[in-house]
């Protein structure tokens, strides 16, 4: 068994066989969605999320082993390798441990200790560390080192102390001990800088103290943003008396002579000047990495929930992009999301032209059978909702509406994708189309937009951008493949997320269907130029051809299992198959049990969209006024965004209300995502505080 496999067993808890299978599949070019869906027997049924975690552990473990080999080689080259050192290196479980072990043997330039070593003061430093001489004897010995750049015995003693200080700061055990002590018992002290704005975002953080061991990720990111904006400063506090007592107790030899005062001073200097600043930087990096991971994971879960929101089917939809001076842009899409028509109305100030606006909307509604309205939640959204509520009351219309987050609509409007899709339309109309389409099919519409522009992130510009981009791509890819894609209607953006496809092949698929017509079977995908056997293997199972030659083409059954599926249909009544029969039938058909279970599920519900099981979008015909709200009022709403500290809920006001994490459940919860999800419909929310002037509402799900 290789060291890598052994390490992966320790870190993942998976069997050697499963790990070997996963690595083999990855090396063969299989994608995570494909492995998770169609190779369950080889992976013990690992989900796409578990496989993503495995990938991360694998990459880290590989890097750890490579670094261990490199460090071992460098230490051997310096002729200082010992059995104890080799053992500690082999047992190191993290990259940090490896770097701590290697630190004393790194070549150092331009340090006080390196200058003292160059001056030949190492023997004097050794004498000082042993502390077997009293102060008089040690001072006398120091005189023999006065030569060259060392002009006095005081210079010699100071140089020896510098060497001891650096040795202390490089000691792996000391670094590990004090790192743990600081992490467990120290705090971040936050102070306001000269540039602190008294009424600004960071004013409430100034003067606070946060324990390092328990600081919430979102608060750390907020503090560090304040530091980058030059409004805050942060330092780590530590009881130096405690440090000195620990050094005296554990580092100073028990039989030390009076030169111990020089030795203690050396260690304290090493701690204050070298070790503590180094650990302070390390700890900030560790907390930043942890906070980034937390924020990115929250963003990823929010994005999954947003993209996985239920589509609004069998309705012609009017998308409304509100504005004041430039008017409210309208766009109509049919039940398939296809753009039909557009208009501009001026129902809000400064024109407030209700009559003409009502006439335009009524004409569009009659012409296209509109029975749902998607209103963007930006500027003038409130007044636009009032306009449609009045239309319903006074004109007898039934244009129920819902408010849709318009985050990213302007980004899409000006994008190359939008220009290619609607070259003849103005950017403002494209924005209204996006608002309508994201209600019709959130996944299909929103994959066209950079996820960072969708308004469901937290401190997204402060976190590691490469890590964020990777995570968002992965969660989008996993969701798209979980739901399935129709190659006859999907955009290039959506197709590019199908396993094994990518951006280039997605455009080729669209070129093929435009020239050859709709795909009639999955097999026909092999006619697409550049879509070879491997790409077909990876992507075929995730396509859904709604009106194909075979019912199997409108399922998640992979073509490699079509023979087994057809045999199953001929020999068995699907509705009568029991769980106990699965092993024998799987053996009969020559497929795995997990694969057979999936085939049966798919055949029972061809074309099934998992989003159909979610609660439908709630439409309104009227709206709420913040002045009507008071403490104790009960309202309904939609979760728009989730952060570590709470959730923002659209309750029909200009600004979203906030449900703080402490107001989400009678039980203590660690994160809002335990009880809420983006786009979740909440029907019974209690108002706990209303600030009419600031337009803020605090909400609660308790009681």
Domain boundary among 453, 478, 503: 478
CATH of the domain at 140: 1.10.3500.10
Residues 438, 523 share a domain:
no
User: What sign does the CA torsion over 62, 64, 65, 69 have?
Assistant: positive
Instruction: State the average pLDDT over residues 349-355.
Output: 96
- pLDDT tens digit string along 388-397? 999 998 988 8
Instruction: State the average pLDDT over residues 437-464.
Output: 92
Residues 567, 492 share a domain:
yes
Residues 599, 632 share a domain:
no
Residues 603, 541 share a domain:
yes
Domain boundary among 458, 478, 498: 478
- pLDDT tens digit string along 601-624? 999 999 999 998 888 887 876 666
pLDDT for the residue 318: 98
Decide if pLDDT at 173 tops 70.
yes
Q: What is the residue-wise DSSP string for 537-550?
A: HHHGGGB--TT-SS
Residue scoring higher pLDDT (488 or 256): 488
Residue scoring higher pLDDT (125 or 107): 125
Residues 510, 440 share a domain:
no
CATH of the domain at 631: 2.40.50.140
pLDDT band at 459 (very low <50, low <70, confident <90, very high): confident
Domain residues for 70?
Answer: 3-105
Residues 572, 531 share a domain:
yes
pLDDT band at 637 (very low <50, low <70, confident <90, very high): confident
pLDDT for the residue 623: 60
CATH of the domain at 461: 3.30.420.140
- Percentage of the chain exceeding pLDDT 90: 82
CATH of the domain at 47: 1.10.10.650
Residues 643, 606 share a domain:
no
Residues 532, 555 share a domain:
yes
CA distances for 458 relative to 204, 218, 436, 673, angstroms? 19, 8, 26, 13
pLDDT for the residue 254: 83
CATH of the domain at 551: 1.10.150.310
Instruction: State the average pLDDT over residues 322-331.
Output: 96
Does the residue 514 lie in any domain? yes
Task: Report d(CA 109, CA 294) in Å as an integer.
Answer: 38
Mean pLDDT of the chain: 93
Does the residue 457 lie in any domain? yes
Residues 584, 512 share a domain:
yes
Instruction: State the average pLDDT over residues 239-255.
Output: 91
Task: Report d(CA 392, CA 389) in Å as an integer.
Answer: 5
| Non-local CB neighbours of 428 within 8 Å, separated by 6+ positions | 321, 326, 329, 413
pLDDT band at 640 (very low <50, low <70, confident <90, very high): confident
Residues 323, 271 share a domain:
no
Instruction: State the average pLDDT over residues 166-187.
Output: 96
pLDDT band at 597 (very low <50, low <70, confident <90, very high): very high
Instruction: State the average pLDDT over residues 505-533.
Output: 96
Bridge pairing between strands 401-404 and 634-643: unpaired
Residues 168, 130 share a domain:
yes
Instruction: State the average pLDDT over residues 321-328.
Output: 96
Angle formed at CA 214 by CA 211 and CA 219, multiple of 5 degrees: 85
Residues 649, 680 share a domain:
yes
pLDDT band at 650 (very low <50, low <70, confident <90, very high): confident
Instruction: State the average pLDDT over residues 212-237.
Output: 95
Bridge pairing between strands 187-192 and 209-211: antiparallel
Give the sheet arrangement for strand 232-237, strand by strand: 209-211, 187-192, 232-237
pLDDT for the residue 624: 64
Comparing CA positions, the residue from 677, 218, 298 lying closest to residue 472 is 298
Decide if pLDDT at 561 tops 90.
yes
Domain boundary among 105, 126, 159: 105
Comparing CA positions, the residue from 132, 116, 160, 113 lying closest to residue 275 is 113
Q: Are 490 and 542 in contact (CB under 8 A)?
A: no
pTM reported for the whole predicted model:
0.88
Does the residue 216 lie in any domain? no
Does the residue 227 lie in any domain? no
Total structural domains in the chain?
A: 5
Q: Of 311-320, 341-350, 550-559, 644-653, where does mean pLDDT reach its minimum?
A: 644-653
Does the residue 225 lie in any domain? no
């Amino acid at each position: 068994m290789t060291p890598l496999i052994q390490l992966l067993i320790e870190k993942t808890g998976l069997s050697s066989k499963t790990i070997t299978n996963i690595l083999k599949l990855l090396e063969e070019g299989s994608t995570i969605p494909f492995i998770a869906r169609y190779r369950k027997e080889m992976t013990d049924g690992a989900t796409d999320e578990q496989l993503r975690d495995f990938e991360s552990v694998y990459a880290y473990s590989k890097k750890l082993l490579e670094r261990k080999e490199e460090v071992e080689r460098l230490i051997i080259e310096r002729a200082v390798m010992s059995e104890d050192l080799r053992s500690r290196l082999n047992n190191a479980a993290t990259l940090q441990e490896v770097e701590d072990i290697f630190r004393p043997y790194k070549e150092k330039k331009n340090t006080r200790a390196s200058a003292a070593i160059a001056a030949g003061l190492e023997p004097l430093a050794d004498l000082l560390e042993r502390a077997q001489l009293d102060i008089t004897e040690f001072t006398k010995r120091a005189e023999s080192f006065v030569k060259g750049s060392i002009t006095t015995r005081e210079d010699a003693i100071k140089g020896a102390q510098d060497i001891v200080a650096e040795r202390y700061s490089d000691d792996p055990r000391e670094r590990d001990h004090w790192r743990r002590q600081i992490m467990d018992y120290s705090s971040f002290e936050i102070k306001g800088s000269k540039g602190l704005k008294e009424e600004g975002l960071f004013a409430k953080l100034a003067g606070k103290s946060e324990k390092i061991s328990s600081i919430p990720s979102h608060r750390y990111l907020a503090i560090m943003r304040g530091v980058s904006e030059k409004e805050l400063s942060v330092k780590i506090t530590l009881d130096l008396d405690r440090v000195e007592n620990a050094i005296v107790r554990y580092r100073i030899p028990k039989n030390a002579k009076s030169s111990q005062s020089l030795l203690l001073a050396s260690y304290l200097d090493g701690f204050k000047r070298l070790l503590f600043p180094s650990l302070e930087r390390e700890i900030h990096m560790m907390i930043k990495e942890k906070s980034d991971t937390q924020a990115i994971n929250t963003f990823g879960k929010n994005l999954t929930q947003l993209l996985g929101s239920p589509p609004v089917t069998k309705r012609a939809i009017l998308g409304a992009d509100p504005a004041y001076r430039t008017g409210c842009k309208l766009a109509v899409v049919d039940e398939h999301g296809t753009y039909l028509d557009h208009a501009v109305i001026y129902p809000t100030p400064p024109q407030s032209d209700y009559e003409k606006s009502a006439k335009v909307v009524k004409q569009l509604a009659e012409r296209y059978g509109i029975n749902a309205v998607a209103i963007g939640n930006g500027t003038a959204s409130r007044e636009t909702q009032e306009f449609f509520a009045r239309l319903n009351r006074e004109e007898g219309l039934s244009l129920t509406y819902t408010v849709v987050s318009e985050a990213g609509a302007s980004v899409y409007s000006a994008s190359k994708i939008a220009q290619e899709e609607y070259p003849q339309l103005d950017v403002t109309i494209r924005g209204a189309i996006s608002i309508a389409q994201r209600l019709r099919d959130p996944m299909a519409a929103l994959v066209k937009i950079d996820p960072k522009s969708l308004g469901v992130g937290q401190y997204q510009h402060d976190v590691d951008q490469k890590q964020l981009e990777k995570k968002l791509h992965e969660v989008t890819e996993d969701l798209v493949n979980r739901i399935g894609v129709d190659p006859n209607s999907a955009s290039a953006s959506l197709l590019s997320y199908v396993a094994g496809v990518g951006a280039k092949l997605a455009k080729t698929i669209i070129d093929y269907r435009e020239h050859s017509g709709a795909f009639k079977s999955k097999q026909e995908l092999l006619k697409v130029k550049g879509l070879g056997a491997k790409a077909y293997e990876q992507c075929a199972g995730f396509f859904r051809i709604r009106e194909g030659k075979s019912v199997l083409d409108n399922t998640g059954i992979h073509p490699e299992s079509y023979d087994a599926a057809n045999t199953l249909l001929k020999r068995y009544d699907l509705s009568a198959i029991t769980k106990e029969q699965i092993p024998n039938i799987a053996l009969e058909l020559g497929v795995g049990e997990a694969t057979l279970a999936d085939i049966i599920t798919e055949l029972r519900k061809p074309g099934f969209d998992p989003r159909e099981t979610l609660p439908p979008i709630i439409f309104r015909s009227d709206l709420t006024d913040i002045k009507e709200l008071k403490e104790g009022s009960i309202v309904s709403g939609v979760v728009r965004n989730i952060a570590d500290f709470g959730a923002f809920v659209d309750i029909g006001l200009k600004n979203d209300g906030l449900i703080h994490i402490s107001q989400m459940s009678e039980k203590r919860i660690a994160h809002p995502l335990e009880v809420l999800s983006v786009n979740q419909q909440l029907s019974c929310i209690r108002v706990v505080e209303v600030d009419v002037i600031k337009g803020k509402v605090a909400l609660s799900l308790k009681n």
